[in-house]
Amino acid sequence: MLKTVLTVIYYLLYALSFLVFIRVIASYFGGARFSKYYEVLVRMTEPFLAPLRNFISWLTKGKPLMFDFSFIALYIIVMILQRIILVIQASL
């Protein structure tokens, strides 16, 4: 039962990282921001990115950065969580 739950969480994290990757790629195309599909991507990924943006803003004391590093931070966090899940699954 626990392996099944961990597998589902692992694949949900994988889907989240995929959605973030698609959003990053789509953000390079100016017209994509006005698409309904892009709005769906924003609604699905923004709840995870907004807290990271706030944390990064707190770290930089409110100074604006040239790039939005919240995407990279989220991707790294997802990768770490996936590795932890794999280690737990291997020990079961």
Q: Report the domain count for the chain.
A: 1
pLDDT per residue rounded down to tens, the chain (92 residues) = 999 999 999 999 999 999 999 999 998 887 878 889 999 999 999 999 999 999 998 988 888 888 889 999 999 999 999 999 999 999 98
Q: What is the pLDDT of residue 13?
A: 97
Q: What is the pLDDT of residue 54?
A: 92
Q: What is the pLDDT of residue 11?
A: 97
What's the rounded Cα separation, in Å, for the pair 73 and 77? 6
What range does the domain containing 45 cover?
2-91
45 by Cβ neighbours in 10 Å (0-12 / 13-18 / 19+) ranks as: buried
3-state secondary structure of 1: coil
